[in-house]
Amino acid sequence: MKLSVVFPSVMYREGRVGVKKLMSGIEEIGYDELDVFDHVVMGFPTKHRRAPVYDPKMPIMEAVTMLSFAAAVTEHIKLGTGVMVLPQRQIALVAKQVSSLDTLSNGRIRLGVGIGWQRSEYEALNENFRTRGRRLEEGVALLRQYWEDEHVNFSGQYYQVEEIAMEPKPPQRGAIPIWIGGTKERALKRIARIGDGWMAMTAPGDPPIQEVLPRFKDLLEENGKDPATYPMQMSLSPGAIDKDKRKRFYNDMDLLVARACELRDLGFSDTSIDCVPLFQLGFRSSDALLEQLAKIYEALAPELSD
> 217: domain CATH number?
3.20.20.30
Band of pLDDT at residue 306, cut at 50, 70 and 90: low
Give residue 293's Cα distance to chain centre: 19
- Give the bridge partners for 3, in sequence order: 271
With a cut of 90, say whether residue 237 has pLDDT above it.
no
The contacts of residue 268 (CB under 8 Å, 6+ apart) are 1, 200, 232, 233, 234
Closest CA to 286 of 3, 2, 4, 15: 15
Domain range for 283: 2-304
Total structural domains within the chain: 1
Q: Are 242 and 235 in contact (CB under 8 A)?
A: no
pLDDT digits (tens, 9 = 90+) for 87-132: 999 999 999 999 999 999 999 999 999 999 999 999 999 999 999 9
Residue 53 has a pLDDT of 82
Residue 24 has pLDDT above 90, yes or no: yes
Question: Which is higher by pLDDT, 182 or 242?
Answer: 182
At 243 the pLDDT is: 65
- Contact (Cβ atoms closer than 8 angstroms) between residue 14 and residue 23: no
Dihedral sign for Cα 197, 199, 200, 203, please: negative
Q: Is the pLDDT of residue 286 over 80?
A: yes
Q: What's the CA gap between 128 and 253, in Å, rounded?
A: 44
| Angle (nearest 5°) at CA 134 between 130 and 138 | 135
Indicate the range of 46-50, 59-63, 66-70, 124-128 predicted with least confidence: 46-50
Between CA 136 and CA 278, with CA 118 as vertex, the angle to 5 degrees is: 105
Whole-number Å distance between alpha carbons of 287 and 7? 14
pLDDT of residue 43: 95
The pLDDT mean for the chain works out to 94
CB-based contacts of 122: which residues, under 8 Å, 6+ apart?
87, 88, 116, 128, 129, 132
- 7-11, 46-50, 80-84: least confidently modelled range: 46-50
pLDDT tens string 6-20: 999 999 999 999 999
**Model pLDDT, residue 72:** 98
Q: How many CA atoms lie within 13 A of 197 on its CB side?
A: 24
Is 80 exceeded by the pLDDT of residue 245?
no
The pLDDT of 261-275, averaged and rounded, is: 95
Q: How many residues does the chain have?
A: 306
The 10s digit of each residue's pLDDT in 140-187 is: 999 999 999 999 999 999 999 999 999 999 999 999 999 999 999 999
Q: From 30, 1, 6, select the one nearest 278 (Cα to Cα).
A: 6
